[in-house]
Amino acid sequence: MSAEGTFSGGIDLKIDLQARGVRIPDGLRSRVGGAGPADGITIFLDGVPASVPSGAWYACRSPYEIRHSGESWELLLDGVGVCGLDVAGEPEYYREATPDSIPYYKVALRHGRDGIGSTVVQGCAHGDDSCRFCAIAVSAGSGETVPRKSPEDLARVAAAARLEGYSHLVLTTGTTPGEDRGIEPLLRCAAAVKGAADMKMHVQFEPPGDLEYIDRVAEVADSVAINIESFDREVLTVMAPGKAATGLSRYRQAWERSVEALGEGHVTSFIIIGLGESEESVLEGCRLLTSMGVYPFLLPLRPLAGTPLEAWSPPGAEEMKGMYEKAAAIVAGSGLHASTCDSGCVYCGACTAFTDITG
């Protein structure tokens, strides 16, 4: 970050776009519900992927707009051209379907530059204690996905995506009952994909009751995410009661076991900025994670339609810049880099500018 309080290149612009969203023309597809880049569009600013909100109320009022300009795309701010950009196209595999006539896009969606992602179980055992910011239930009711992905279908889709050059798969899941917390279905899907496509594998899950599940994940995964979402205890209790009930010590054990199995820099935890957490809680969380070899994946809250937070706004760009700067100093001091990771969200970085800063 420079003395003037700006990051270099297009990072400032990416931060501002993720804070304010963007208006998009009819015909550009904005994902509804789901995990990660939900309610958004993926664009490339000087080749850097950015997932930008485009479906939420604040995005519809954004001063930013994407317009077609001849054969290319242009970003405007208050009607004035800012720069050219690329828009992530729909993969060819979206046109294919499984033997049961499930369109491939309902099994796995494009993520960022060269990833695909799938939510294996589209439901959450936390029920009333589920995360207030999560749109898994919205996706389940949208008709845009299937409630449970089969290993066979995921293997088919991954093989087709690999032929198009997609290099990594993000497998996540709603939490399931039982001590595996959803890891068993993830493992079945991961194993099927490994047998069908030469793809890097990133798996996201909650701390399981038995840590040996993590060793099994490490046999098929190249990286993992165990996302606590917030280190502010009061905020976590309100925003993610199920995770708060699991408790920080259980997360610490899971992160530790994952680093033992996969190595430093290949384990991450999301830290969402904008839930009302204290700054010190974020920085304390970064210190804890980096001391364990876990990359702290800071990202702005993306309030999603259909969730309890749908009327909220993302944090402002200045708030995000300040947080990124302080957290990046902690990451730099630890020797961790986003570029260490070859799969998943840390490798992709479309949903945050933090990975661009800590590259």
Q: Smallest distance, Å, CB 88 to ligand SF4?
A: 10
Least distance (Å) between residue 109 CB and ligand SF4: 9
Retrieve residue 56's tokens: 């939420």
Given the rule CB under 6 A, which of 190-198, 211-219, 260-268, 342-350 is the region that contacts ligand SF4? 342-350
CB of residue 332 to ligand SF4, shortest distance in Å: 21
Which region holds residue 156: left if phi is over 0, alpha if psi is between -120 and 50, else beta?
alpha
Report the distance separating Cα 31 and Cα 41, nearest Å.
Answer: 7
Tokens of 280: 């010190």
Residue 250 or 302: the one with the smaller Cβ distance to ligand SF4 is: 302
Could you say whether residue 226 binds ligand SF4 (CB under 6 A)?
A: no
Task: Enumerate residues 6+ apart whose C-beta is below 8 A from 85.
Answer: 43, 44, 45, 66, 73, 74, 75
Place of tokens 């420079």: 2
Closest CA to 90 of 117, 70, 109, 73: 109
At 21 the three-state DSSP class reads coil
Which secondary structure element, helix H or strand E, spans residue 256, and what is its range?
helix 248-262
| CB of 10 or CB of 112, closer to ligand SF4 | 112
The C-alpha atoms of residue 170 and residue 329 are separated, in whole angstroms, by 28
Of residues 314, 351, 316, the one with CA closest to residue 58? 314
- Best CA proximity match to 243, nearest among 227, 224, 258: 227
Binding status of residue 269 toward ligand SF4 by CB under 6 A: no
Could you say which residues in the range 23-42 bind ligand SF4, by CB under 6 A?
36-37
The single residue among 10, 34, 117, 296 that binds ligand SF4, judged by CB under 6 A, is 117
Contact between 18 and ligand SF4 by CB under 6 A: the answer reads no
Rounded Cα gap, residues 330 and 319, in angstroms: 17
Which among 55-63, 98-106, 119-127, 341-349 is the span making contact with ligand SF4, rule CB under 6 A?
A: 341-349
| Least Å from the CB of residue 246 to ligand SF4 | 21
- The reply on whether position 170 binds ligand SF4 by CB under 6 A is yes
The Cα–Cα gap between 66 and 45 comes to: 12
| Residue in 350, 353, 356, 357 binding ligand SF4, rule: CB under 6 A | 350
Q: Which is nearer to ligand SF4, 29 or 233 (CB)?
A: 29
* Closer CB to ligand SF4, 41 or 250, in the complex: 41
Least Cβ distance, residue 179 to ligand SF4 (angstroms): 26
- Give the rounded distance of the alpha carbon of 102 from its chain centre: 24
By CB under 6 A, residue 203 contacts ligand SF4? no
Nearest distance in Å: CB 221, ligand SF4: 14
296-325 binders of ligand SF4 (CB under 6 A) = none
Residues near ligand SF4 (CB under 6 A)? 36-37, 51, 111-112, 115, 117, 170, 345, 348-351
